[in-house]
Chains A and B, each alone.
Chain A
Amino acid sequence: MKNKTGKKRHWYDYLWIWSIIYFSLGFFNILFAWLGMIDFILPLIFAIVGGNKWFCNNMCGRGQLFWLLGRNLKCSRKKPAPKWLSSKWFRYGFLAFFMTMFGTMIFQTYLVFSGANSLRKVVKLFWTFKVPWEWAYNGSIFPDWVAQFGYGFYSLMLTSTLIGLIVMVLYKERTWCSFCPMGTMTQGICKLKNK
């Protein structure tokens, strides 16, 4: 099958389906949130080993989903985003913020691991709003910290997707990509590699 621009379609053009499956799985069982690590590790491997952004450019399901909803389903105003949103200081600032939040999440996981805290079955949206999510976990063969990481990671994934959807509606389809921490990080690595 060919698309509008006459390019051949590949299996990885359908990875937007993976984004939907990911959130659905995590809705029913929070342990599936761990699968999101693939979307963290793969782009980094491409950048560190290959020195490219092949992940962003070809196989990011999230980017594809924003394009599909924004362009094909016309859910985007397609207006240029404010310039500061894709400026270097905002992009690297957001990356730093994101990494800090990632670190906090790892620390929460550690607290459950060490027994200082007990497992909290909530998904935290926008790093602020706690949404009860207890149906997604009823114990497993794994220790509690594994589930805690799941909740933390799922919160991060859901929050970033929601931010992405908001900027998709307000601005261009893939505005999220202009300040996505993974995108910034992989481009940064590529730039360092090609110095």
Chain B
Amino acid sequence: MSTATTATPVAAGRKPATMAQALNRALRDSLAEDPSVHLFGEDIGTLGGVFRITDGLAKEFGDSRCTDTPLAEAGILGTAVGMAMYGMRPVVEMQFDAFAYPAFEQLVSHVAKMRNRTRGAMPLPITIRVPYGGGIGGVEHHSDASEAYYTHTPGLHVVTPATVADAYGLLRASIASDDPVIFLEPKRLYWSKADWSADAPEEVAPIGRAVVRRTGRSATLITYGPSLPVCLEAAEAAVQEGWDLEVVDLRSLVPFDDETVSASVRRTGRAVVVHEASGFGGVGAEIAARVTERCFHHLEAPVLRVAGFDIPYPPPMLERHHLPGVDRILDAVGRLQWEEA
């Protein structure tokens, strides 16, 4: 696992930054530190990416370090495999969640399998950045929460930041990792802001560690990525109902931090998993099973899930009905068998 934690300090002290800026800075620091790091993807050079995550990098590091590719995701990931085989550390951008699907064969058949296939002789240190999730009013194919496809593929690490600091730290760690990492960027948090400075190493998140974002005694909300702010809001609203909710931000879906999650649920005795991806066969199902297996005797109620419906992602005008909101989370908390407690 990665130990990349030191960034070249530029800005002294902390100042407001967006998640997009933190990601940009992480890419920049990785490019500066390691000549084997190469960025490529669609529109990431001159344009700086459709979300501007690579803004200025082609200018600073040259076209060969931050490259506009032909429009072909299978080609992007397939050539990344070859570059990694030759000792490079490719960081590729898939323009949107649904536009990563043409690369699926390369991902599942090679990226995820190469290390195992070669008995460790040929690891693939590839980072695959995927803007994902909804809530941005995107038309069809621009809002998929596609994490379960990836988490179900052994051989891939899957991480997703929910805060500005984690965006930086997790991306640095992902690029430094010798395993392939699916780096899921919650689109609707790109413009979220926090006071942050790139040279605060205590904020760098190691891959595989969840974090408690809010401590509480009544129940645990387990979540990640775009749903973290919703859960924190729900936890604040829950105070009025007399519930003191703990909120766990997973950050890393694979590897999964059973320790942090189980410890929290053992403390509170109740748990709700929240994510915007469809519930059926989703990451929440895995979490509910793991928590039940590990914390059964501490549980006062079944682990519940609040997830997107089992439907294709809705058009912009209807997406609010699909996305888990504060009310649905509080409803679920209300169903945690309080009367029997």
Instruction: Indicate whether A and B interact.
Output: no
Instruction: List the interface of chain B (C-beta within 8 A of A).
Output: none
